[in-house]
Structure 1
């Protein structure tokens, strides 16, 4: 399948995840972006919503749903993907990759079932999948920090704090994303109740049957635009070397998740599809630090990674990206 061109449509192309998906696909050697759907922007060039695309393309947004494609990315708000598919039946031959939370807990629509698209957990199922429910951003960072412990059957109660950039709240302006409020500010939100906890628990139980310990998660809004940094604290009687071996063995063969012996900095992963993991131990507690770009490994980059897998490509094609570094 080395010479195939995957024909692609995007629904909801004017937002942050839509824009990131467009950028990735324009630079993907085996992708052909056929159309980008947006009712509010129909007829306008893509660069009117995404100014960085100026000079890259003259493609215009459309409000016409076409089905002459191999796959459709749904870059819609939560609750909108299921509604869209109910109102717009898509030919079963067209694959769906949904970036909302509408199908992450095993939901289906019009006979379509979805595989949870975390490659480090479900790679074999993704290879055979027709439709993908792309994981949430915080869910990705937290799960990648916990999965090896669950696989070993030693995961206990988790205390996690994570901070995310303003793009995690979407493109629509809100009081808590306005520059004058967000700058020089950090605040907690959805304390212990974040919506991603359900998919995290579901994945952990997939590896550690009967896991019922609490995941005590406090998300923070950060004073930056993109990136997620999570620190998860868990009790264990294993040594630091034993824990690190668990993680390195688990992620062997997964090119985007890197376990490092060095300090983890969020800047190392921003603008990449990587998850960087660092582990510390003090007494009977380990702290697992996991960092991702919320718009790439936490959204569009992982969606393209899933597309590569379901179409038989190397999962890294088109998403070997460089961090911002400085």
Structure 2
């Protein structure tokens, strides 16, 4: 039996809503090469009938898939459809689920902010936080990109009840974190050779971060002081997080390595890390330092993979009982 036949027999039939955007494109790049996924449709309101590679030009030669123009309810009623990914903008998933009926047999993975509070039966989809709940869920709210990077930096402390003081975060993201729609701060001429702060102390990902920390550390009530930066690069996040810590560096490293031992994508490095190590991968890398009673945690991810579409596929793997890393052993560019 050849590999193509084997893939078709064992395929999970999925659909993508909002397939023309950054997260939709990144999702297509991953699932096209996933050994257990068949793409039933890739829907886009703006690109109906066009080949996928006319929007995601790097996919030329990889797929002949076209953006579906079929009515959405008809797509959802397709026989054997097993999962859908919602990749439209924030606020659109609420509208989608109010307008269309998704059969109970279809699992939903939403990449927007809409259900990260675990409303409407959604489970927050950070595998490093609640892998077992994800496995038995039917609806997953995929975490935000900044939220993923920052939580990976803090979860081991919360699990050990060791957050004793406020948490301070300074984090920078690439331009793809702003989405595909143009604005004054996403144009090349503004962003190139430029760095700026936005949404200081008020970023929307703070809500889900605090929710997660409360799940691990009972009575968590400390401030998370978050300063986000726009970087002049395309993709990747580096979060530098610090808080009071009474242990040694060795104790911190052991704590983090123990917490992440069963998680295939999050690794603790004892040497300094940089964003190129994670770009185009589903990895989260952590580096720790202790300075005068403060633990400095550097956390890096790719905002489009581990921070969005890669994590969504990781959740799909868990939902369907596949090894967590199936289709996600991706190579970083390095140089």
Partner of 1:193: 202
Partner of 1:300: 309
Pick from 90, 93, 96: which aligns with 1:81?
93
Indicate yes or no: 2:36 matched with 1:36: no
Report the counterpart of residue 142 of structure 1 in structure 2.
150
Equivalent residue, structure 2, for 1:132: 140
Q: State the Cα deviation string for residues 79-109 of structure 1 (Å, max 9, x = none).
A: 001111110111011000000010000221x
* Structure 2 counterpart of 1:101: 113
> How far 1:63 moved relative to its partner?
3.0
Residues 140-289 of structure 1 mapped to structure 2, 5 A cutoff? 140-155=148-163, 156-289=165-298
- The structure 1 residue matched to 2:61, chosen from 29, 52, 55, is 55
**Equivalent position SS for 1:299:** helix
Q: Please give the alpha-carbon distance, in whole angstroms, between the structure 2 residues aligned to 1:114 and 1:311.
A: 16
Mapped partners of 1:219, 1:256: distance in 2? 24
Residue in structure 2 matched with residue 91 of structure 1 by the alignment: 103
The range that moved more, 141-150 or 241-250, is 241-250
1:33, distance to aligned residue in structure 2 (A) = 0.6
1:34 to partner: Cα distance: 1.0
Structure 2 gap ranges (5+): 1-5
Residue 30 of structure 2 is aligned with which of 4, 19, 24? Answer: 24
SS state at 2:268 partner:
strand
Q: C-alpha root-mean-square deviation of aligned residues, in Å?
A: 1.1
- 1:123 and 2:123 are equivalent in the alignment: no
SS at structure 2 position matched to 1:122: helix
Segments of structure 1 that go 5 or more residues without pairing to the other structure are none
Structure 1 residues 129-150: Cα deviation after superposition (integer angstroms, max 9, x where no partner): 1110000000000000000000
| Residue equivalent to 1:15 | 21
Please give the alpha-carbon distance, in whole angstroms, between the structure 1 residues aligned to 2:271 and 2:200.
Answer: 30
Structure 1 SS opposite 2:281: coil
TM-score (norm. length: structure 1): 0.97
Query: Deviation string for 1:157-185 (max 9, x for gaps)?
Result: 10100000000000011110100000000
Spell out, residue by residue over 1:211-249, the C-alpha distance to the aligned partner (whole angstroms, 9 max, x if none).
Answer: 110000000000100000000011111111111111000
